[in-house]
């Protein structure tokens, strides 16, 4: 943590809460000072996210989203959504999954939410107008031939996440990792 972030958290009355969180104490919503600066709260939530879940962001694009993640209300927008994501991160159990739906919030706000404690993104692969992209829709890309528009959209999401300093893990990769882990568990049970 940089000295500026540390100073900002101290000034906002959040540094002691961050240190308590590192010791395993989970604050409640009432513990967060009323009217705390949104950027300070975001820095607090991002420090918690970084320490507890790291830089990997699970991305569920047009797929079944697993249960168990904490989500901010789909009715919230803009700064209210960011404040809620940060609050959910710091008041949730250690290592909690905090998800933002870019279909409801916009991809830009979802990306900003990564700096406020979000660790998962979900939403539809859609065009700029919000309409779903057909499975067979393609575009000619120089040097690559015809490329799926869905794949191009996923690449754009991946670039955004990497630019934010995060490591994207898309739903297909998550499923493959889970399958591999369950196969290892079976082998351990069979072979001891």
CB atoms within 10 A of CB 174: 17
Is 191's pLDDT higher than 60?
A: no
Asked whether 166 and 121 are in contact (CB, 8 A), the reply is no
155-188 pLDDT, tens per residue?
888 888 888 889 998 876 655 555 545 555 555 5
Whole-number pLDDT of residue 155: 83
Give the chain's mean pLDDT: 84
Whole-number pLDDT of residue 123: 85
Asked whether 166 and 55 are in contact (CB, 8 A), the reply is yes
Identify the residue with better confidence: 114 or 74. 114
Q: Which of 75, 74, 78, 81 is closest to 45 using CA atoms?
A: 81
Q: What are phi and psi of 107, to 5 degrees?
A: -65, -35
Is 192's pLDDT higher than 60?
A: no
Query: What are the sequence ranges of the domains in the chain?
Result: 55-191
Question: Is 0.85 topped by the overall pTM?
Answer: no
Asked whether 69 and 99 are in contact (CB, 8 A), the reply is yes
Res. 45 pLDDT band, cuts 50 70 90: very high
101-142 pLDDT, tens per residue?
888 888 889 889 999 999 999 888 776 776 777 777 777 888
Whole-number pLDDT of residue 177: 53
For residue 32 the two structure tokens come to 């967060």
Asked whether 157 and 107 are in contact (CB, 8 A), the reply is yes
CA dist list (Å): 49 to 52, 146, 149, 171: 5, 39, 32, 20
Whole-number pLDDT of residue 133: 73
């Amino acid at each position: 943590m940089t000295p500026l972030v540390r100073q900002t958290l101290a000034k906002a009355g959040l540094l002691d809460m961050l240190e308590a969180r590192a010791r395993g104490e989970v604050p409640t919503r009432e513990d967060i000072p009323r009217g705390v600066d949104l950027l300070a709260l975001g820095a607090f939530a991002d420090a918690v996210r970084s320490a507890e879940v790291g830089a990997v962001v699970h991305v569920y694009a047009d797929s079944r989203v697993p249960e168990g993640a904490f989500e901010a209300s789909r009715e919230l927008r803009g700064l209210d959504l960011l404040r809620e994501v940060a609050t959910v991160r710091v008041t949730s159990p250690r290592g909690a999954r905090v998800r933002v739906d870019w279909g409801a919030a916009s991809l830009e706000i979802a990306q900003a939410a990564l700096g406020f404690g979000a660790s998962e993104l979900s939403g539809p692969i859609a065009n700029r107008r919000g309409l779903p992209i057909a499975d067979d829709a393609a575009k000619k890309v120089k040097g690559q031939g015809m490329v799926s528009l869905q794949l191009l959209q996923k690449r754009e999401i991946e670039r955004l996440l990497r630019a934010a300093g995060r490591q994207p893990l898309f739903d297909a990769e998550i499923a493959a990792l889970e399958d591999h882990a369950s196969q290892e568990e079976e082998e351990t049970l069979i072979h001891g």
